């Protein structure tokens, strides 16, 4: 059975929702970031990067959200969570998720995780001040050019949707006004009405 | 026919090598970063992100290295550049490439592109000073846990290899001593002997 390691409020939410959407049997185990469990020897043996998500499968352990999402879609094709028979459409899904992980998530991380890339308190404060701008610019591009609507890829729900929903959930805290992003706001509302999303949010907050 | 937009020294090298390895017909067009061609209206119409690589296909335009690499492998299955029939093995390929784009490339980018995430000169200098450490730490993890040898995924060459080769080519300039990374150094040597790599490097430098 699949086992997901997650932390509430992290990008692991995308994988958690996708497992639920796929209708597969899985367990989810919370990693206690407040007590630095992610850097404990026990957790580093699961994921040497000391991050979530990590997905334990019958074949081994997977990390990195885009890889986990595509794995769920490909190994459970009946869930129809990605266009598996069309390499170009599948690549568009991957391009979107790659943009979220390498640009959008990274922009957000500069608010609280500046020590990954700098050493001085003044740099951390400088980075933090810029997050509203960088997240706003990233999401303006998503709003204008990438989110087709009603779902990211158009009429069909895919593994792009829970990932976008996860990262758009950070906008308010990052100082970006959702009213300037009507398609993203509509997408958030639509996602929040899905049974899988409601269940996972309840489970993560319990 | 496929057309790749690239800039010498950029991560587009991974896509360029992969096109050559696939043995497909393609053209490659240089984007002149010195004259900011990447932010010209003409190029922004191709890639609104103002970055390379961008791959023009018969179906539309693709961006983001992990997506482009997987697209080449999936749309030209006879090139055998990824384990297409094994979702877990394919996910491992994707997890590796996702780590390169979202952690390793991002670490490197803080040397010259600090203005993406901060505003003050002192922050840029602080970020720049830390790049040797962040790239060193990232590659130490690759050396210890990720690069199986002789190729990234073991005995079989995949789309992970040109991407690793592209980013490991930045180590010397980032102040990381390749002598501390014997498996990465061996991988660089092995890659540099491939006909496709030699041809692409010659083409990009001509």
CA distance A23 to chain B (A): 18
C-alpha–C-alpha distance, residues A67 and B91, integer Å: 5
Question: Is A144 in the same domain as A66?
Answer: no
Q: Please identify among residues 71-110 of chain B the ones whose CB lies closer than 8 Å to any CB of chain A.
A: 71, 74-75, 87-88, 90-92, 94-95, 98-99, 101-103, 105-107, 110
Question: Is A61 in the same domain as A112?
Answer: no
pLDDT per position as a tens digit, B146-184: 999 999 999 999 999 999 999 999 999 999 999 999 999
Q: For the CA atoms of chain A, what is the radius of gyration?
A: 17
Measured between beta carbons, the chain A residues lying within 8 angstroms of B129 are 119
Q: For the CA atoms of chain B, what is the radius of gyration?
A: 17
CA dihedral A184, A189, A191, A197 (to 10 degrees): 130
A44: contact with B, CB 8 A cutoff: no
C-alpha–C-alpha distance, residues A148 and A151, integer Å: 6
Q: Are A146 and A99 in contact (CB under 8 A)?
A: yes
Residue-level pLDDT at A42:
96
Number of domains observed in the structure of chain B: 2
Question: Is A120 in the same domain as A53?
Answer: no
pLDDT per position as a tens digit, A91-122: 999 999 999 999 999 999 999 999 999 999 99
Contacts by B21-24, CB closer than 8 A, 24 or more apart: B21/B79, B21/B81, B21/B157, B21/B162, B21/B194, B21/B196, B22/B72, B22/B73, B22/B76, B22/B79, B22/B81, B23/B76, B23/B79, B24/B72, B24/B76, B24/B79
Question: Is B17 in the same domain as B64?
Answer: yes
Question: Is B91 in the same domain as B118?
Answer: yes
The neighbour count for residue A49, using CB atoms within 10 Å, is 17
B44: contact with A, CB 8 A cutoff: no
Question: Is A103 in the same domain as A65?
Answer: no
Q: What's the token pair of residue B13?
A: 């090298």
Question: Is A101 in the same domain as A156?
Answer: yes
Q: What is the arithmetic mean of pLDDT over B136-143?
A: 98
The gap from C-alpha A79 to its chain's centroid, in whole angstroms, comes to 19
C-alpha–C-alpha distance, residues B193 and B157, integer Å: 13
The boundaries of the domain holding residue B117 are 87-194
Q: Where are the beta strands (DSSP E) in B45-90?
A: 54-56, 61-63
Q: Are B7 and B31 in contact (CB under 8 A)?
A: yes
B62: contact with A, CB 8 A cutoff: yes
Question: Is A71 in the same domain as A92?
Answer: no
Closest C-alpha among A85, A62, A86, A69 to residue A22: A69
Question: Is A115 in the same domain as A19?
Answer: no
Q: Are B104 and B135 in contact (CB under 8 A)?
A: yes
Q: Is this prediction's pTM over 0.90?
A: yes
Count how many residues are written for chain B: 206
Q: Please identify among residues 110-149 of chain B the ones whose CB lies closer than 8 Å to any CB of chain A.
A: 110, 116-120, 122-123, 126-127, 129-130, 134, 141, 144-145
Residues in chain A with pLDDT values less than 70: none
The chain B residue lying nearest A121, using CA atoms, is: B123
Question: Is B101 in the same domain as B133?
Answer: yes
Q: Are B82 and B90 in contact (CB under 8 A)?
A: yes
CA distance A197 to chain B (A): 24
Which CATH number do you get for residue B19? 3.40.30.10
Measured between beta carbons, the chain A residues lying within 8 angstroms of B100 are none
CB contact under 8 A, B98 and A64: yes
Q: What is the DSSP string of B114-138?
A: GGGT---HHHHHHHHHHHHHHHHHH
Angle at B145 between CA B142 and CA B146, to 5 degrees: 55
B63: contact with A, CB 8 A cutoff: yes
pLDDT per position as a tens digit, B46-79: 999 999 999 999 999 999 999 999 999 999 999 9
C-alpha–C-alpha distance, residues A191 and B1, integer Å: 38
pLDDT per position as a tens digit, B74-121: 999 999 999 999 999 999 999 999 999 999 999 999 999 999 999 999
The chain A residue lying nearest B70, using CA atoms, is: A91
Closest C-alpha among B39, B36, B75, B33 to residue B55: B75
Which CATH number do you get for residue B150? 1.20.1050.10
Residue-level pLDDT at B206:
85
Measured between beta carbons, the chain A residues lying within 8 angstroms of B88 are 57, 59-60, 62, 71, 75
| Cα end-to-end span (Å), chain B | 22
Give me the residue label for tokens 């958690």: A16
Question: Is A75 in the same domain as A102?
Answer: no
The chain B residue lying nearest A133, using CA atoms, is: B117
CB contact under 8 A, B119 and A102: no
Question: Is B73 in the same domain as B153?
Answer: no
C-alpha–C-alpha distance, residues A199 and B49, integer Å: 35
Q: B26-30 and B54-56: which strand pairing?
A: unpaired
The gap from C-alpha B166 to its chain's centroid, in whole angstroms, comes to 5
Is ipTM > 0.90 here?
yes
């Amino acid at each position: 059975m699949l086992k997901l390691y997650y932390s509430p409020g992290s990008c692991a939410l995308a994988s958690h929702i996708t497992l639920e959407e796929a209708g597969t049997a899985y367990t989810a185990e919370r990693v206690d970031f407040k007590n630095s469990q992610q850097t404990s020897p026990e957790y580093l043996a699961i994921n040497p990067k000391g991050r979530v998500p990590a997905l334990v499968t019958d074949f081994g352990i997977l990390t990195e959200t885009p890889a986990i999402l595509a794995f769920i879609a490909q190994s459970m094709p009946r869930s129809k969570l990605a266009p598996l028979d069309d390499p170009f459409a599948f690549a568009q899904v991957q391009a979107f998720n790659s943009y979220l992980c390498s640009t959008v998530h990274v922009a957000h991380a500069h608010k609280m995780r500046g020590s990954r890339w700098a050493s001085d308190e003044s740099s951390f404060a400088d980075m933090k001040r810029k997050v509203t701008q960088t997240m706003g610019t990233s999401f303006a591009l998503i709003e204008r050019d990438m989110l087709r609507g009603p779902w990211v890829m158009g009429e069909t729900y895919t593994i792009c949707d829970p990932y976008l929903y996860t990262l758009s959930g950070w906008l308010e805290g990052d100082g970006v006004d959702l009213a300037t992003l009507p398609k993203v706001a509509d997408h958030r509302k639509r996602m929040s009405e899905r049974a899988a999303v409601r269940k996972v949010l309840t489970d993560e907050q319990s």
